[in-house]
Amino acid sequence: MIEPSRLHSATRSPWRRWLDRLATGMIAAGGIGVILALMAIGAFLVVEVLPALLGGRLETQRVRTALTPMAWGTLKAALWAMVFAVPLALGAAIHSSLFMSQRLRSRMKPTLEMMEAMPGVVVGFVAGLILAPWVERHLAGALTLLLMLPLGVLLAAGVWRRLPSLWRRQLPLSRAGLWLVPWLLLLVLMTFWLSPEVERLLFDGNLRLWLDRELGLDYATRNAMIVGLAMGFAVMPSIYALAEDALSGVPGRLGEGAHALGATRWQTLWRVVLPAASPGIFAAVMIGAGRAVGETMIVLMASGNAALMSFSPFEGMRSMAAGIAVELPEAVPGSEAYALLMLAALLLFLFTFLVNTLAEVVRSRLRRRYRWIGGGAA
């Protein structure tokens, strides 16, 4: 019984070794190809831009006037996207990895990760043509809802902690993602039911006019807030997936040891689990930021594409990626407009490269710093 199996294994081993070598070669070739492609893109942009800069075809004032609003718009759009995406993604990752039941987690996590496959053009279409006009018509209700949802979650948590133990067993923390849904829906309905009255009492019945008259803020239909909501929805699944994997990779014995020493769940989370998973969480946030900086269609369709420089979330902006997408088809190669667009592309390329490099450096340092905690999840 043993000799045939040994003979069969010896017969197949050269074939397996050949397959292993082939797979290793293909993976190495793919990695080298990606590096060469990135180097080729960077070299092409440098070759296109450098002669224009050295030859005097691009004046400094012209470059500053053309690119500064687009650079500002790129950073502004990415900032508002991260403001909406990071708290939701990290909160969902913490809950699903540490508190959610395994059965519910096995169903919820793939569903959330599938959202990453949604095309940006679809998200931008919905944001520009459906979400933006709806928020404009219900501005007071939408802004109130952004304030009431976090407060409603905190209120629900406070009420849950003061419930009798029998009720808390009926509403376990592992299924909070389910029993919170009816409460949040009720909160949404109450917010939009009361918002017209609140707008009438506090803002003379028209919040847009009050913002313009009292604060000097002009509300555009397609603005940074809409871009932040839409782009945050687009980048949230990638941040969630990477952060959840990092948190799930933290050894369970660390949390068990903290609980055995008398630490609460909150203390264990902040002082043990998050430091151990911080390299992976930081990498997830930076990857999401890189996606937000390079996003094109959402910004193009939901921002109004206006080259404005302001801190207001109610005004539009124009990002580098959107400007390149709009103007490059009409730019004549060799012209000043073409050189400006190539320069914008080079700056966007360098910015993304530097952000990813910084993320890797910081992640490596955090891994070395927290290695003593148990080989922090990456």
Please, which pLDDT band fits residue 2 given cuts at 50, 70 and 90? Answer: very low
Tell me the per-residue pLDDT of 124-137, one tens digit each, with 9 for 90 and over. Answer: 889 988 999 999 88
How far, in Å, CA of 232 to CA of 79, rounded? Answer: 10
Range of lowest pLDDT (10-19, 261-270, 288-297, 336-345): 10-19
60 token code pair: 């400094």
For the stretch 57-98, pLDDT in tens is: 777 788 888 888 888 988 899 999 999 999 999 988 888 888
Nearest CA among 93, 98, 90, 87 for reference residue 109: 93
| pLDDT band, residue 268 (cuts 50/70/90) | confident
- Indicate the DSSP class of residue 302: H
Q: Which residues contact 76 (CB under 8 A, 6 or more apart)?
A: 224, 317
* Average pLDDT for 274-283: 84
What is the arithmetic mean of pLDDT over 263-268?
A: 79
Instruction: Give the residue among 326, 313, 123 at the shortest CA–CA distance from 220.
Output: 313
In angstroms, the CA 214 to CA 206 distance is 12
Share of the chain above pLDDT 70, in %: 94
Q: How far apart are CA 173 and CA 180, in angstroms?
A: 10
Q: How much is the average pLDDT of 175-191?
A: 86
State mean pLDDT over 353-376: 71
Given a cut of 80, whether residue 372 has pLDDT beyond it is no
Instruction: Give the whole-angstrom CA distance, residue 228 versus residue 116.
Output: 16
Token pair for residue 366? 């955090």
